[in-house]
Each structure stands twice: as structure tokens, then as C-alpha cells.
Structure 1
């Protein structure tokens, strides 16, 4: 299959994998959380969040591989590609060993980490979970070299198909074990087994299909130093992400116990699905952003206009989708969480609200990240987000001890508003040649379409018992219809309407031609 077909099909499969992952998670979660129980689900979430902190050791080297691979491939330098493979295998094997040592240290010092946050039985389970997840993390580093090589060779179809298979197989194997009475240890063991199996498939593909080799000597002078400089700001972003999205669970586990972690984890899971919807849209526009930057004069009025136009177009489309979901969470979130997770997760509703609304500022501006990179002005964002992460950490330490899961989410919310709502918008206006006032003016005009749905949502909450499953499903459909109609007639412009009508017309024309 040629490169263009790989890219096209890979893109389609990427969306399919995202949808499949969300659907399976939504169906699988209620069974998993009930079979594990609140305490053990919280324990699993806490341990997983601690081990995931070790992923910081990656330092963004994968991005560096693709950069150098492209350089050597363009020059037809096969030998240096093989040397690059060898260098990265050495780097990631060392990182894997360090990661394993780190996870062993953590597993044997759990009381230092959690203090009095766990019971005696939870400490015993946590130790086994930490070891299994630690082995999984340690193996993932050297094995990631194979997935990076496959990506660099643009063999996206193989990657996505294997990823989709794993997404489907994992719950099919795990659920029967949970029903038989096995708990989080069995769940993590299945995950480890599937990781080893898929990693072996990647290894075979690289060796037998791509016929790549590994040379472990004679590396080009200065490559490692150059790689380290190139990936340093990517590494900062990795650190920031880990602090923002995993430290809360660790703090809650230490100060409040596993049941409070479970409450936070339910809210965070729903936020993750929300975030995935945004990133899947903005990712499509990455090549377009770089093309516009390259064909216009730096800091010119023309560049300001074309980049702002794209920024507004993409932001409005994201707002249309995220506005439906975010407002839906407000009106239907409480009964949905009740049916999805069970009794005892009432505070998860407030957790998801505190994460969704502040994050929405950056999510509708996701294409701005690519604009920064294309303009080579992304360093400021990394440093600003590092400051944000430190603020989040300090606030969360104090707030989670007093207010539990809601306090931890509030600390994250405040830092998100400061960084995304204030600092980054000023930076976009001043340094990235974007008209932010025009952007928010356009979003404000679009948001007029929310007035009718919000009024209807308030009436539904006041007069309808949404804790009846059929009433909940019916009024979610009714609300969605009202939202779509209101946005169509009040909010959307001709371009957005055409985006929706074009594929409908194409399908209709094909049906007419067949007849």
C-alpha cells in the first residue's frame, strides 16, 4: 500500500479506534467498577497514576527519532538509519532499566508514599499491582522503539489495526476473570500479557516486513546532544501533563484513601472522553497550519489574517461539539454517573464539571498549539504550563486535604483558568500574530445558540425525574435535537452548515445514481 493510502486509511482508522475505545470504555466501566468495588477501583487508579509518573523518563525522544529518520531517509543513508535504531534501543533500554529500579523502589516503600492512606490488605495488593505495572512500564520503553520505527515508515494501518484488536480483546479477557472473582491483580496481569503479545508483533513486523536492522556502534557525532536539546521542551510538556493529570490521584490516595480516589477517577474518566473529541478534530489541521505559515511572510498582516481565520474556523467547530457535551454534562451528568458508576459517586459530577469547563478554553484553541510549533514559538507554552503545574500541585495539596476529590479538581481548575484562559490568550495575541479578540467575539456570537438549549435543560432538570433510565435516555435525545436546531438557526454560519451538508449531499447523490 502506498504512503498516501496509508495516511488516508490510517487517519480513518485513528478516528475509528478513538470511537471504539470510548464506546468500549463506556460499556466496560460499569461492570468493572462494580465487580472491583469502590475501594479496589480507587486503589488500582492510585497505583496506576503513580507508575505512570515514570513515563516522564521518555523525555520526548520518540519525536527526535522521527526527525532524524526523515533526515537520513531523504539522504538515502540506510546505514545511519540502522545506527539510529541502535542508538535509540540503547537509550530506551537504559531508561527501561531505570524505570524498573524506580518501580521496585516504589513498591517496597509504599508506606512512605501513602502514609496512613491505605489499609493493611490494600498495601499488600498495591505492592503486587506496583510490581506488575512497573514491569509493564519498563518493557514499554525499549519496545516503543519498534512502534516509533513503524510510525516513521508510515505503516499506520498495521499500528491502528493492532491497536483496535487490543482495545477489543482486553475487556473480553478481563471481564470473565472479574466475574469469576479475580480482581485488580488479574486485570493488570491481562494488560501486561497483551502488552507483551502486541510488542512481539511490532518486533516481528520491524524485523520481517520492514527488514530494519540495529547497529550499536559508530554513531554520528553530536546526535545525542542534538536530540537532547530538541526534546527538552517536549520533556517539560510530559512532566506538566503528569503533574496535572496524575498527581491529584496520588495526593488523594495519600491524604484521603482509595475510595476518594475512585470518586475522582470516575470524573476524570469522563473528562478524558471529552478531551479526546477535541484533539481528534484539531489533529486533522496540523499539515494545513504548517502550510499557511510557510507560504506567508512572518508577522505580516496576511499571515495574521489566514491564521486567525483558521483559528476561528476550527475553534467554532470544536465549540459546537464540545458545547453539546459540556452542557449535557451539566443537565444529565448526575443521573448518568449514578447509572454508569453506581451509588457513592455523587461528587464525581462536580469533579467532571471542574475539569471540563476550565479545560474547554484550551480545547477549543487546540489548533493554536500547532500554530505555535509552526512559528517556532512553543517554548513559552512549555514554561507557562510548567508554572501552571507547580501552582496546581501546591493548591491541590491544601485543597484535597480539606475538600477531598472536589478540592483536588478545584486546584487543577484554577491553574487551567490562569494558564489557558489568561496567560496563553495574551501570548497568542502578542506573540503568535493571532487576533484573539476576533476569536472570542466569534465564539460569543456562536454561543447565542446556547440560550434556548440551556433554558430547556433547566426546565428538564426542574420538572423531569431523570433517575428513570428511560426518561434519561429520552431527554438526552430531546436535548440533543433542541441543541442542534438552535445552533443551526441561531449560531452556525454558512461555512459550518456546508461542512455538515456536503457529506449528506454526496451520500444522497450516490443513492440517486444507483437508483
Structure 2
């Protein structure tokens, strides 16, 4: 099994771990620290998340250009791009700390109306700790980019698996004695520093990288900067989509509303991870295809193939949540979180368009054509912000989610599909024809699912789980029989054969 397949497999293992641990972890956090403390933790986490994008797109640019030089076997180019990037990472870390300090001294002004003095004090301490966490992460992101470029996904994703398992264990141990949101932040910071140290050691001890400045190339720097700025702009708007709504709710509604929205956020972020698990490991491969000037038809075929696989999985989760989601949230989070069902649906349904096409983002990065995506994303992010504030004031989390869904449908759905078709020359018409045929089968599965939910005489949590398992099995059988093409069926059969052979 090659590293790319290992990366995809481990990504899904991590998603499963994250989902299972998260769904167990959140009720435990709510039990130990309560709804308001949990909302406080999510609110400060949402605010500090803005600083996580302050690599200004450097990581994507490093992967793109470092992989290009590696494909061309240019050792000096590889060393040089790392040296230039290292200076960039140190600069943006300094900027992050300065902006972070300005935010820290104004926390009272931002949240003074919606928080108690005790909450404000704890929020300030937590903000400083998480700011330190982000600074350490930003200054060392180059090492994660290098491991990604070398496609050493076993180590990269394996570390993430270890972090996923150890973090809740460490948090719960600390909460036994210190049941506060601050304790959760301390545990995360300690583990993050350990993981980062392991990446640094691996780069120098196993990959034998060298960071050395050889020459200044103005054209290279111009291309590097253009891609970095474009990726940064998209990352910034990502925070508008995924974090700003929680900040808005924290200001206009309070920490309880943030807690409800955070429950929905955990679900749709896991939903997003199901798609990025595949596309996330393909950037180095696509960059090599572009560097070697392979025809765009190859990229179009890859775009459709991966989109189909992503849709099979996402449609299972989306239809399953439509059928079982309301009762799931009631079992999982308890009373008082029912709005999270509507919030989640308002986001994941339009978001599915972008997720089944996110291999296109890797294609844009590899071609250094990410600028258009950045411009459109900025406009749709602005639309989201304009709509979310008044809707959030009047309708709370549901209003914010509606604003996000509309903005994503327009920007990520309609406009980006036009760009893929007319500028990149991907076969979007064929893509949607195939997705449309699959959707007809998915609709049949949805109707069957409602029959399972209302028709089977199982009750309670065990009965609920049995219904989900039955629906998943039937969905898989119907999709395999009616939606998959011959090539996909052969891959499924080969995977089953290899699995049995390795038992």
C-alpha cells in the first residue's frame, strides 16, 4: 500500500476516532464544566482561531513549490524555498503576537456586555494561553508542510491519531481536579507542543532536510507570494464561515447560544473532514502532474472520480442526519440543543457542493490559479457577514446558519462551477450529470431510511443504533447495485479481497 492510500486510510481512521471521541467527549465536558463554561471555551477558541490562519498561505505555497523542486530533483531549490519560508513564518508569528496582544487588552470592551466579570477574567487567561499555542504552531508549520510534500502520511496522520486519542484522556484527567475551561486549554497546549517537537525531529533525523539560502529569485518570490496571499484570503473567509457566527452570537446572544451553535459546528466540521480526508493527500500528486505538464483531461478525470467517491460517503451521512439527526442530538447533548439540528442542515446541504469538488482547490493551487477563488470567497464571506449579523440578532444560531448556507450556495456552488468549467476547462457538465444520476439513487435511500426510522419497532438508544446500522447497510447495498460504475465495483471487490487476504 503506497503512502497516499495510507494517508487516506489514516485520515478516515482519524475522522472516525474524532467523531466517536468527540461525541463522547462533549457530554463529559458539559458534565464537568457546564453549558456556560463550555460556551466560553468555544467562544475564545473561535476568536483565537483567526490567528491560526496567519500563516498567510505560506503552508500551501511551501507544499506547492517544495514539491515542484522535489519532482524536478532540484536540491538547491528545495533548500532555498525552505530558507525563504522560514523567514516568512517567523515574521507572521511576530505579527500574530502583536495583533493578539491588542485583542487581549480589548477583551473587556468586546465582551463586557455579555459576560460576567468572572467569565471575562477566565477568558483573558485562556486567550493568552491559546495565543501562545498558536504562535508555537505557526512558527513550526514549515515542518508539517515538508512531511506532507514527501507524502510521509503514515507518520503525519499517525501523529494526528495519537493526538486525537491522548487529548481527551489528558483533558479528563485534569478536569478531575480542575473542572474549568482553562484546564481544557492547558491540556491542549501541552500535547500540541509534544506533537510539534516530534515533527521537527522527524524532518531533520529521517528526511534529512536542509534549510539553506542559496539565491534570490524575484519571479519565484512573486509566484510564491501570489499563491500564499490567495490561500490566506480563502483561509480568512473560512473563519467568517466557520467561526465568526459563534463570535457574533457571543456578542449579541451570550455563551449559551454559542454552546448550541458549537454542537452543530462539531457535526458539520466532522462532515467536512470526511471529504478533505481524500483531497487533502492529493496536492503533492496533482502538483507533480501540473509540473510535468500533463493534459487537463487527466485532472478532469481525477476531479470526477474523487468527487463520486466523496459523494457516496457524504450522501450517506447527510441523509442519515436528515433521518436520525434530531433524535441523535437529543440523546447526545440533551435538552436545550434542538436548534443544532436545523443549524447543521442549513449548513451541510449547500456545503456538500463544495465538498464533493474540493479536489478542484488542489488543482487551483497546483496551477497557481487560486486568485479567483480568493476573490469570490471574499465576496461571499462578506455576504455571509452582512446577513449573519441581523439574522443572528433576530433568529439566533438558526439565522446565522441560514446566512452561511446562502452565501456558500452562491459562491462555492454557482460561481466556482462556472470558473472550473470556463477557465480551468474541467468537464463540469459531465461531473454534474454523474452526480445527478447518483442523487436519484440517494433519494431512494432517503425514503427507505424514513421507512426504517418510523417502521421498525426498536426503541431507546440501542434501538436507535440498530436502525442506523440497518440504514447504513441498505444504503451501501443500494449504492453499490444502482449507482456505482464497473470500475468502482472492481475497486470495492479488490479492497474486500485484500482485506480478507490480510486477515
The TM-score normalised by the length of structure 1 is: 0.87
1:390 lines up with 2:387 in the alignment: no
**8 Å CA contact retained: 1:268, 1:355:** no
When structure 1 is superposed on structure 2, of 66-75 and 21-30 the one drifting more is 66-75
Equivalent residue runs for 1:29-178 within 5 Å? 29-70=26-67, 77=75, 84-178=81-175
Q: How many residues align?
A: 500
Deviation at 1:335, TM superposition (A): 1.3
Q: Given that residues 453 and 467 in structure 2 are in contact (C-alpha distance below 8 angstroms), is that contact kept between their aligned partners in structure 1?
A: no
* Partner residue in 2 for 1:346: 338
Counting only pairs closer than 5 Å after superposition, residues 220-231 of structure 1 correspond to structure 2 as: 220=216, 222=218, 224=221, 226-231=223-228
Listed one character per residue, the Cα deviations across residues 467-512 of structure 1 (whole Å, up to 9, x for unaligned) are 721221111122223323333343333333323222223445678x
Distance 1:372 1:86 in 2: 25
Match of residue 498, structure 1, among 462, 475, 490: 490
Selected match of 1:193 from 190, 195, 204: 190
- Whether the 8 Å CA contact 2:392–2:398 is kept in 1: the answer is yes
Measure how far apart 1:464 and its partner are: 6.5
Given the alignment, which residue of 385, 410, 430 partners 1:418? 410
C-alpha distance in structure 2 between counterparts of 1:323 and 1:205, whole Å: 38
| Cα distance in structure 2, aligned partners of 1:100 and 1:235 | 18
1:81-101 CA-partner distances (Å, limit 9, x unpaired): 656544433332232222222
2:4–2:281 contact (8 Å) kept in structure 1: no
Could you say if the C-alpha distance between residues 212 and 281 of structure 1 is closer, same or farther in structure 2, counting changes exceeding 3 Å?
A: closer
User: After the TM superposition, which of the residue ranges 375-384 and 265-274 deviates more from structure 2?
Assistant: 375-384
How far did 1:340 drift?
1.6
Q: Is the 8 A contact 1:82 1:213 kept in 2?
A: yes
Q: 1:82, 1:489 → 2: CA distance?
A: 51
2:401 to 402, 409, 422: 409
> Which deviates the most, 155-164 or 496-505?
155-164
State the shift of 1:146 in Å. Answer: 3.2
Among 349, 353, 356, the residue aligned to 1:357: 349
Encode CA deviations 1:296-349: one digit per residue, 9 max, x unaligned: 656xxxx3xx65554443333222211111011011111111122122111000
Find out whether 1:427 has 2:419 as its counterpart: yes
Identify the match of residue 370 of structure 2 among 365, 370, 378.
378
Residues 1:401 and 1:503: Cα distance change in structure 2 (over 3 Å)? same
Q: Classify 1:162/1:377 alpha carbon distance in 2 versus 1 (closer, same or farther; 3 Å).
A: closer
Q: Using the alignment, how far apart are the partners of 2:275 and 2:6 within structure 1?
A: 20
| Worse-superposed segment, 346-355 or 9-18 | 9-18
* Helix, strand or coil at the partner of 1:37: helix
Deviation at 1:455, TM superposition (A): 2.5
Gaps of 5+ in 1: none
Q: How many Å separate the matches in 2 of 1:308 and 1:208?
A: 38
1:475 matched to which residue of 2?
Answer: 467
Contact 2:30 2:38 in 1 (8 A): yes
Q: For 1:138-185, what per-residue CA distance to the aligned partner results, in whole angstroms no more than 9, with x for missing partners?
A: 121212233334444554443333332222211111112223342211
For residues 144 and 497 of structure 1, the distance between their equivalents in structure 2, rounded to whole angstroms, comes to 39
Structure 2 counterpart of 1:249: 246
Q: Which range moved further: 307-316 or 381-390?
A: 307-316
- SS of residue in 1 equivalent to 2:357: coil
Indicate the SS of the match to 1:195.
helix
- Superposition pairs for residues 321-332 of structure 1, below 5 Å? 321-332=313-324
In the alignment, is the contact (CA less than 8 A) between 2:323 and 2:449 conserved in 1? yes
Q: Tell me how far 1:109 sits from its aligned partner.
A: 1.0
Q: Is the aligned partner of 1:336 residue 2:328?
A: yes
TM-score by length of 2: 0.89
What whole-Å deviation, never above 9, does each CA across 1:392-432 have from its counterpart, x for those lacking one? 11111111111111111111000011112221222233333
What is the rounded CA distance, in whole Å, between the counterparts of 2:430 and 2:69 in structure 1?
A: 43
Q: 1: distance between equivalents of 2:294 and 2:97?
A: 48
List alignment gaps of at least 5 residues for structure 2: none
The 2-side partners of 1:354 and 1:417 are apart by: 11
Rounded Cα–Cα distance in structure 2 between residues aligned with 1:444 and 1:149: 39
Contact 1:34-1:342 at 8 Å conserved across structures: no
Within 5 A, what are the aligned runs for 1:221-300?
222=218, 224=221, 226-283=223-280, 287=285, 291=289
Instruction: Name the counterpart of 1:453.
Output: 445
Aligned positions of 1:297-308 closer than 5 A: 303=297, 308=300
Deviation at 1:230, TM superposition (A): 3.5
